[in-house]
Structure 1
Amino acid sequence: MSVDLNLINHVPVANRIVERHFSEFPVYLRKESIRAHRYKLHVQPGIEFNLSLTGTATYVIGDRIYRTAPGQLLVFPGCVPHQVFVDDNAAYRRAVICVDDATLRQGASPYPGLPSTLHWFDNDCCRQFQLQMNKFSAIKQIALLMHKERKEQKKGWQQMLLAQLLSLTVIVERMVEEQAVACTRAVPRYATRELADRCCSYIEAHLYEDLSLNNVAPVFHVSPEHLTRTFKREKGVAYYQYVLLQRIQESKRLLLAGDDTSLTDIAYALGFASSSHFSRTFRSVTNQTPSEFRLQSHSGTPC
């Protein structure tokens, strides 16, 4: 979608709602559906964790624009001007967790392990993660439990809520470390066949992540153009077609694993724009819909 410059060129406003909640407790929670709006950029203290649940949206954070889809997590400092924008005819659902990290770092938290799990946070940096399905499910569950504790406020709810927050920060801390290892690993320039082979291995190991050429090419210290030409020449199939085929294979594994995972969750986890897009692509490759494949596999008929 296009972002109205009039909305992002104004001086950002303070988010008084978050500030007021932080005066009572160092965690603010929100789970909501958003449609098109005319809100301007805003700022608030602390760290914001923003989990996309359904639909797509555009986030303006500082001087950068992020396009988000279900299964993606944004983590950024609240002091950086930000806002989410949604297409006129679209609906977008998200879970938001804002954390007053300054209070937690001062030792005011009754859960002392929290400050040590926030050491990775950079007050100038926005991080975007494409979550694997298990991490997406885990973080969704954490957000759900945090909302439940906050709403019911039973005895010890603060400790329970902070315990869930600790789980969230540890998950993110691990993902940050994984990203750092991937970025700092020295990778020499490869011969064309070895480059294509290693690229295949990388794709198969990172099916739940952003596999755009612009993201993958730097891993091998080559340009996107060089990678796509080499891949097609050595493998006889276009790079994006190979990614698509591997994701369809992975979706088959998930479909065979059980009925508790919805087609929508599988679609979003593997980077498809929607469940209908996933179903169309699956059928074009297998001549079956995902539902037909799942039903046939459970009936014992060879797929």
Structure 2
Amino acid sequence: MKKLPVPELQSPEPSEAQPFSYAIDDYTNHFLATYPVHSEFRTIPLEQQLLHSHNGYEIYLVLQGSGTYLVGDRIYPLHAGSLTIIHPHVIHRPFHGQSKEFHRYVLSIDESYLDHLHTICQLSDLSISRLLSKHHPDSSHYFLSAQQLDRVQSIFAELTQALLKREMGYELVVLRSIADFFLILFGLQDEQGEHASKPTGYQHLAHDVLSYLIGHYQESLLIEDIVSRFPVSRSQLFALFKETTGTTIKQFLIEYRLNKAKRLLMETDLAVSEVSSAVGFGDMSHFFHIFKKETGMTPKQYRVEALKRKNRTLW
């Protein structure tokens, strides 16, 4: 029997009927365009079910509940006291599994804000962006002690209230809160280093699968080849990946390729056929069908609309 590339598989995994989508988080982008710092305390179940990316850094502090965070080519465990830093334009998706209560702070900071802080601290050559990339260019992950969690939670609570009320001088409260937070964060970098970001057990296997998909997404991947690389059965591999990440292997690969395609359409002049080939879809008609189905637009129409949005932002 002829082996088919992953995008063409009919029903190899559970929940395969889900649509394949990718979203640029215009919600966050809108707030960052209005003011370069945005913070929210959230208790409702996760609404963003798609891989997504946005401008600016995202800082994710979990207070209650558990799950995992798929960030770029990594999978991080989430629980009370976990702190995740996601860099601009990196795809990510939190997943809280069966956890009924999931409380977290989500802080977004535009790159320009950190650049301004770098300018203010020019004598010390403090580059927050460079320090954030110290261990990994896309993300970092830490576990806070009870004392550290209490301190960071207090900073985020004060920051969130200042941004909500916007009383006279709130910008100074924001600046103080950001400065206090980064002082704690850089202490965590020295204290925990890379040890906090390494997955364990089944998460390690799911992480390896994720890394393989990202490393080979431009190729015509065969599901049999993927399964043969890992020491579990086909059904176990599918179930493990879905349980850990909240998405199927096929779904992730489609979303990841769509992400790359959208960025190429927005940022380059490559022909649509070249974009399709560059991100691993290969077959032009398949790429066109998936893209139109999930965005409601053809790739060319999407490029035009993206350019319009960019011009509106500039003005």
User: TM-score normalised to the size of structure 2?
Assistant: 0.51
What does residue 50 of structure 1 align with?
60
Match of 1:144 among 146, 152, 157: 157
Change (3 A) 1:4 1:135: farther
Match of 2:94?
84
Cα distance change of structure 1 residues 6 and 142 upon mapping to structure 2, 3 Å threshold = farther
User: Does residue 156 of structure 1 match 2:173?
Assistant: no
Per the alignment, in what secondary structure is the counterpart of residue 132 of structure 2?
A: coil
How is 1:21-36 mapped onto 2 (pairs within 5 angstroms)? Answer: 21-35=31-45
CA distance in 2, matches of 1:36, 1:28: 18
Please tell me whether residue 175 in structure 1 is matched to residue 180 in structure 2.
Answer: no
Per mean C-alpha deviation after superposition, the further-off stretch among 124-133 and 147-156 is 124-133
Relative CO higher for 1 or 2, CA cutoff 8 Å, sep ≥ 6? 2
**What's the CA shift for 1:10?**
4.2
Q: Residue 6 of structure 1: CA displacement?
A: 7.7
Question: Contact 2:66–2:99 (CA<8 Å) still a contact in 1?
Answer: no
Deviations 1:42-67 (A, max 9, x none): 10112111000111122111232222
Deviation at 1:3?
10
How many Å separate the matches in 2 of 1:89 and 1:136?
A: 20
Code of the residue aligned with 2:106 in structure 1: it is V
- The corresponding residue for 1:261 is none
Deviations 1:122-159 (A, max 9, x none): 27232111111211111000000001111111111012
* Distance in 1 of aligned mates of 2:58 and 2:175: 15
Shift of 1:12: 2.9
Distance in 1 of aligned mates of 2:17 and 2:74:
16
Cα gap change, 1:210/1:27 in structure 2, threshold over 3 Å: closer, same or farther?
A: closer
CA–CA separation in structure 2 for the residues paired with 1:141 and 1:117: 21
The alignment status of 1:17 with 2:17, answered yes or no, reads: no
For the pair 1:130 / 2:143, whether they are aligned, the reply is: yes
Contact 1:46 1:78 in 2 (8 A): yes
- Long gaps (5+) in structure 2: 1-12, 202-315
CA contact (8 A) 2:63 2:104 kept: yes
Aligned residues: 184
Are 1:112 and 2:120 matched, yes or no?
A: yes
Whether the 8 Å CA contact 2:68–2:77 is kept in 1: the answer is yes
| Structure 1: distance between partners of 2:143 and 2:59 | 13
Partner of 2:78: 68
1:39 to 17, 40, 49: 49
CA–CA distance in structure 2, aligned partners of residues 31 and 91 of structure 1: 13
Is 1:121 aligned to residue 122 of structure 2?
Answer: no
Distance 1:12 1:77 in 2: 18
Opposite residue 112 of structure 1, the aligned amino acid is I
Distance 2:200 2:94 in 1: 26
Structure 1 length-normalised TM: 0.53
After TM superposition, the runs of 4+ consecutive aligned structure 1 residues lying more than 6 A away are 2-7, 209-214
CA distance in 1, matches of 2:127, 2:153: 23
**Cα contact 1:113–1:166 (8 A) shared by 2:** no
Determine if contact 1:27/1:100 at 8 Å carries over to the other structure: yes
CA offset digits 1:153-191 (Å, max 9, x no partner): 1111012112101110111112112334x87xxxxxxxx
CA distance in 2, matches of 1:110, 1:158: 17
Indicate how the Cα distance of structure 1 residues 83 and 149 shifts in structure 2: closer, same or farther if over 3 A, else same.
Answer: same
Question: 1:74·1:127 contact (CA, 8 Å) conserved in 2?
Answer: yes
Residue of structure 1 equivalent to 2:236: none
- Checking the alignment, whether the CA contact within 8 Å between 1:80 and 1:124 is kept in structure 2 is no
Cα pair 2:48 2:93 within 8 Å, conserved: no
Offset at 1:89?
5.8
* Contact 1:36–1:90 under 8 Å retained in 2: no
Unaligned runs of 5+ in 1: 184-208, 215-303
How large is the Cα RMSD of the aligned pairs? 3.3
